[in-house]
Amino acid sequence: MKKLKKFLRPIGIAVAVIGVMLALGFVERTADRTPISGLQVIVDGVKGIHFIDEQAVRREVLDQGIAVMGSPTAEVDVTRIEQRLRSIPCVANAEVYHTMDGTLHVKVKQREPIVRVFNSDGGSFYIDREGWTMPTNDNYTARVLVVTGQLNEPGAEEGVHSVLANDSLRAYFRSDDIHRIASFIVGDPFWNALIDQVVVNTDGEYELIPRVGAQRVLIGDGTALDQRFEKLRIFYDKGIPKADWRRYARIDLRFADQIVCTKRTTP
């Protein structure tokens, strides 16, 4: 009897495994035939960024010639829907999948712009936190740091592209430096609250324009940001009281271990 039990035991396990596999296969085939009956959309992004909303995503999914609602889940091309959503310039990523209850889930992540670049010809575009360009939007304007001046940067009209990826372009354009400076400013609550504009002057150097004080702060070629901003922080904290910030027309941080200030000639 014991030998018979030893013989039958593996057979029973094998039968059970086969049964489970057949059941799973049946469930999967049944799920593949389940029609799409619902659409759940989640738009993920930083609070206050509204380049795209749930209704716009729904339109992209439902109104672009892709059979969705009522179609069997197996026939819904989720890859094509993801590619379509990812082709929208303000979308960083898109994930599309369906569940056994017939719901199509769509999750879209918005890009987060940190700076808007204005070229000399008046054209402009955004650069997001990850270094990707974004076109402007007729329906929404992000309140971000602004860079103006002697610029002729390739904008998002040429397609979304990374300002960090192509080393050959860095010798001719400034977008990678602009992204680095903007990342530094927005990454510090004090500077992010104080500085709202950067200007590229006729010498090709960067000047900061604070929200208060109306002076220009020259940081040179945009390198050594840690040291130069730390000097400026000490100067603001200890060098002058806030009431006297308007006394200076220019603060020059380009020189090692010193700050050169130019007073206003008029009140």
- For residue range 163-187, what is the model confidence (pLDDT) as tens digits? 987 666 666 889 999 999 999 999 9
Please give the backbone phi and psi of residue 88, each rounded to the nearest 5 degrees, phi first: -75, 125
How high is the pLDDT of residue 170?
Answer: 66
Assess whether pLDDT exceeds 70 at residue 33: yes
Mean pLDDT of 248-259: 87
Mean pLDDT, the chain, whole residue set:
84
Categorise residue 47: left if φ over 0, alpha if ψ from -120 to 50, beta otherwise.
beta
Residue 237: DSSP 8-state: I
Q: Domain 38-110 - what CATH class?
A: alpha beta
pLDDT digits (tens, 9 = 90+) for 96-128: 999 989 999 999 999 999 999 999 999 999 999
What is the spatial distance between Cα 103 and Cα 31, in angstroms, rounded to a whole number? 11
Tell which CATH classification among 3.40.50.11690, 3.40.50.1100, 3.40.50.720, 1.10.10.10 matches the domain 113-263. 3.40.50.11690
Alpha carbon 267 to its chain centroid, in Å, reads 42
Give residue limits of the domains in the chain.
38-110, 113-263
Please give the backbone phi and psi of residue 151, each rounded to the nearest 5 degrees, phi first: -130, 145
Mean pLDDT of 222-240: 87
